[in-house]
A and B are shown apart, each in its own frame.
Chain A
Amino acid sequence: MTAELAEPASKIELPAHVGGGGEIPSFDVTLRVRRYNPEVSEDATWDDFKVTMYGTDRVLDALHKIKWEMDGSVSFRRSCAHGVCGSDAMRINGRNRLACKTLLKDLDTSKPITVEPIKGLPVEKDLIVDMEPFFQSFREVMPFLINRGHEPTKERLQSAEDRERFDDTTKCILCAACTSSCPVFWTDGQYFGPAAIVNAHRFIFDSRDDAGDMRLEILNDKEGVWRCRTTFNCTEACPRGIQVTQAIAEVKQAILSRKI
């Protein structure tokens, strides 16, 4: 019996040069990481780390390698490592991206790759910023369903077209890549920022929601949608490919047509 359970030998002859995992090309790359530790110094500095990485590796893998094998004090946030949680937005080569969705081979590896915290939010340590101002704006637009009708006994139904209306803005993972790429937000951090508007859009255009007017009123603030200069930085930064600037324009339109 036992002999029969053994796995049969492979019938496919593999050529000798196909082996383990060695085929993925490896390369050396330098990561230039922005370091800041308020307990040591008020000044931020750059640290270079030279690592050998593979073609399938992302910036996050390089950061892991640095933290786990070279300098355990390098600090950054990450959770899912697969572009779902939105915790590892950072400024890589001057652009806001998720470290876990940026392949090293897509960057110019001949030069050092700069990794900085996202701009416009207070840095806590190294690549970690205080997200509180960002989430404060998010909370202010009331990002939850408000329905004044009777509590339904089953789920709240909606037509496919109605669902389609706000589909794009449901994809937000609150990574703050958009808000921290916005030059208007950089100046004084008072602007609500693209992410808050995207998440307001999600409910303003939801046929099941009744508080659209309240949200439009909130975003009609002097720090609201009218501070948007349509520079499209947010659309370019969004790792979910949300048409952020368009969503902001739709909210502007909605406020206008409600008032006039």
Chain B
Amino acid sequence: MSATEIQSPRSAKAPAAKVGSNRIAPQYRRNGSSKGNFEMLAWLFMRLSGVVLVVLIFGHLFVNLLVGEGIHAIDFGFVAGKWADPFWQIWDLAMLWLAMLHGTNGVRTIINDYAEKDATRLWLKIVLYAATTVIIILGTLVIFTFDPCPVVNGVQLPGGFCPAP
């Protein structure tokens, strides 16, 4: 056993600290060094997206829950009406992307901070990024391809919001 290299100085259970091992001058390693500004940009993105999200989310809540009839006005037709307007399409798109990326980056940070093994880290992040990708793509498709009156094989799907064809 080459007992002189320890990746993590976390505990006395590290291999080189075993009973009776010749524990002389272990070499501690930082896991490589990174070039580039990714961590800095991620940090900056968190602050900026946070500020923008506060505006977007409270605007969203205000318009949906307080204006006009307020919460009682929310139904399928209300949402369909909003998404017929490019302004709300962009608003909701921005909210979706920023919230997803902000949240994903936050969870990425938590994984980095709390997962102790590199393999655990890798797998948790793969799951995280897959989930994020699916939700962002699905959400974006819904916002842009949303059709309140779908017609399948020439038959109007039941809904009751749409004029008869």
Contacts and interface: CB of A to CB of B under 8 A. Distances in A.
A133 interface: yes
Contacts of A186: 10
Contact of B9 (A36, A120, A220, A255): A120
A132 B28 CA distance: 8
Contact of B18 (A38, A190, A226, A229): A38
Given A38-B18, A39-B19, A189 B8 contact: yes
Contact of A256 (B8, B10, B44): B44
Contacts of B12: 36, 38, 42, 44, 122-123
Residues of A contacting B: mostly: loop
Nearest to A189: B9
B26 A190 contact: no
B37 interface: yes
Interface string A87-122: 000000000000000000000000000000000111
Interface residues of B, number: 33
Given A44-B12, A122-B9, A221 B116 contact: no
A226 B43 contact: yes
A122 B20 contact: no
A61 interface: no
A222 interface: yes
Nearest to B32: A222
A211 to B, nearest CB: 17
Interface residues of A, number: 33
A252 interface: yes
B31 A190 contact: yes
Given A123-B17, A186-B10, 11 more contacts: A38-B17, A42-B12, A42-B18, A122-B6, A122-B9, A136-B28, A188-B8, A220-B40, A221-B34, A222-B38, A256-B44
Interface of B: 6-14, 17-20, 23, 26, 28, 30-31, 33-34, 37-40, 42-44, 109, 112-116
Interface of A: 36, 38-39, 41-42, 44, 120-123, 130, 132-133, 136, 183-184, 186-190, 220-224, 226-227, 229, 252, 255-256, 259
7 contacts: A123-B17, A132-B26, A133-B28, A183-B113, A221-B34, A221-B39, A223-B34
